[in-house]
Amino acid sequence: MIIVMRIGAPEEEVDAIVKQIESSGATAHIDHGSERTIIGIRSARHDLDESMFRLLPGVEDVKRISKPYKLASREFHPANTEFNVGGMEIGGKKIALMAGPCSVESEEQIVEVAKAVKAAGATCLRGGAFKPRSSPYAFQGLGEEGLKYMQTAGKVAGLPVVTEVMRIDQIDMVCKYADILQVGARNMQNYDLLKELGRIGKPVFLKRGMAAMLEDLLMSAEYLLAGGCEQVILCERGIRTFETATRNTMDIASVAVIKRFSHLPIVIDPSHAAGTVEYVASLALGAVAAGADGLMIEVHPNPKCAKSDGQQSLTPPQFAELVQRLKRVAEAIDREV
């Protein structure tokens, strides 16, 4: 951490700060510049709070030097994190394709989708049994029944299953049926949920919040890693900006940024970013070429009748056609779909 003093701050103020630094077990390094004094803090502690210095007399600004996450950082873990969940490889050469409907609506529906996306090349089945809906009057999901259908569909199709868990008291139930537990964008900073999920020994699929900086996303991953979970998959699904042509603005640079600062795999969800089926293919192709480790795509057998997110869902034939295009792009960058 670095403390920037106000121009003309008297020596007593500098001394007072040095004392405060030393009383917290750190050491101070003073640089008397021509214009102003700068004080560097060396500390072995990870939790030294910059705000404790900000209010001291004479302080103009406090600048953090190190990233606030550790276990999630590439400095700590230089190699990419790669793993296999129920047959799906992630983090390596192979690009994961997670596909399925927004909501599980019936056993027939989810089994039909599962078979179709598997045939097309998907490596994981997605689907929601608990749905966070902005309206209390909207369909809220089938609950445990939906989880059972998903499990059945995953088995029938030979695909691992990823589904959202929204509250702590659902974790045990969801663990019975799902291979990967998803934390939704609205829960990315539900730290209690993250703490519990860190302990259960299952892979976690962590979606970026709509207003979360990539650093915030890595801090939330840090909660999972600190709890003991090593199989964390990050997911970019669009952030909220002033642009209304799309539901969210897909931050494709998240791929390169995450790859630079972290070892964790990063998946893109073009469906929630686009908000409309017309843009999904373009975004998916772009994501793969940019280096994403996987895609999560909404597929529904009959989008017009979907109970949620129909307008952004591909049909199974549209998905199959997209996978063919993705294969070619993946090969062009020496990866595989």
Nearer to a second copy, 41 or 157 (CB): 41
Measure Cα distances from 166 to 52, 130, 201 in Å. 35, 7, 17
Q: From residue 305, how far is each of 24, 308, 309, 310 by CA, in Å?
A: 61, 9, 10, 7
Shortest separation between residue 166's beta carbon and a second copy, angstroms: 6
Cβ-based nearer residue to a second copy, 32 or 176: 32
**Cβ neighbourhood burial of 206 (10 Å; 0-12, 13-18, 19+):** buried
Contact 92, 294 (CB under 8 A): no
Tell me whether residue 38 or residue 156 sits nearer to a second copy (CB atom). 38
Tell me how far, at minimum, the Cβ of 152 lies from a second copy, in Å.
25
Q: Cβ atoms within 10 A of the Cβ of 183, count?
A: 24
- Least separation in angstroms between CB 94 and a second copy: 17
Q: Which is nearer to a second copy, 96 or 217 (CB)?
A: 217
Query: Which residues in 277-292 are b (16+ Cβ under 10 Å) and which e?
Result: bebbbebbbbbbbbbb
Query: Can you tell me whether residue 255 is helix, strand or coil?
Result: helix
Rounded to the nearest 10 degrees, the angle between the axes of helix 280-290 and helix 253-261 is 30
Q: Quick one: angle between helices 107-120 and 144-157, nearest 10?
A: 30
- Interatomic CA distance for residues 91 and 20, integer angstroms: 45
Closer residue to a second copy in complex, CB, 155/332 = 332
User: Whose Cβ is closer to a second copy: residue 49's or residue 145's?
Assistant: 49
Shortest approach of a second copy to residue 137 CB, angstroms?
5
Judged by DSSP in three states, 281 sits in helix
If the CB atoms of residues 83 and 261 are measured against a second copy, the closer one turns out to be 261
Residue 147 phi/psi, 5° resolution? -60, -40
Residue 336 CB, shortest distance to a second copy, in Å, is 13
How many CB atoms within 10 Å of residue 189?
A: 17
Name the residue nearer to a second copy (CB basis): 110 or 224: 224
Q: For residues 219 and 237, give the distance between their C-alpha atoms in angstroms, rounded to a whole number.
A: 17
CA distance 208 to 206: 7
Main-chain phi, psi angles of 44, to 5 degrees: -85, -15
The nearest distance, CB 103 to a second copy, in angstroms, is 12
Output the smallest distance, CB 157 to a second copy, in A: 25
- Closest contact distance (angstroms) between CB of 37 and a second copy is 10
Q: How far apart are CA 53 and CA 32, in angstroms?
A: 18
Closest distance of CB 87 from a second copy, Å: 26
Cβ nearer to a second copy, comparing 186 with 202: 186
Q: Is 60 exposed, middle or buried (0-12, 13-18, 19+ CB in 10 A)?
A: middle
